[in-house]
Amino acid sequence: MPTKVRIPTPLRQLTGGEELVTVTAANVGAAIAEMQAKYPGIKDRLLDDKGEVRRFVNVYVNEEDIRFLQNQATLLKDGDEISIIPAIAGG
């Protein structure tokens, strides 16, 4: 079940400059673990020490914020796309 993950600029040092990587995990939390195995250090950048998504990180599955879905338990299926985006200001 390949899912594409869009990597934001600040994290591309960890992915060797790749802006799009592929994971096969079944949910968002597992996808983060899978990326951590491939790109060590990425988990610490996305999750705080309690394992929650950091305050200033927004994660979207198919353009929907995972906080409106099931957070890290949000299921992934073939062809889904994950975007990781820093929170930005308004107005």
Contacts with another protein in 40-69 (CB under 8 A)?
A: 45, 54-58, 60, 63, 65, 67-68
Q: Should residue 26 be labelled a site residue for another protein when binding is judged by CB under 8 A?
A: no
Q: CB 30 → another protein: shortest distance, Å?
A: 21
Residue 35 and residue 54: Cα distance in Å, rounded? Answer: 16
Q: Report CA 58 to chain centroid distance, whole Å.
A: 8
* Of residues 48, 52, 55, the one with CA closest to residue 87: 55
Alpha-helical (H) ranges within 5-88 are: 28-38, 42-46
Q: Please answer whether residues 28 and 76 qualify as being in contact, where contact means their C-beta atoms are separated by less than 8 angstroms.
A: yes
Q: CB 1 → another protein: shortest distance, Å?
A: 24
Nearer to another protein, 63 or 78 (CB): 63
Among 8, 36, 43, 69, binds another protein (CB under 8 A): 8
Residue ranges in contact with another protein by CB under 8 A = 6, 8-11, 13, 19, 45, 54-58, 60, 63, 65, 67-68, 83, 85-91
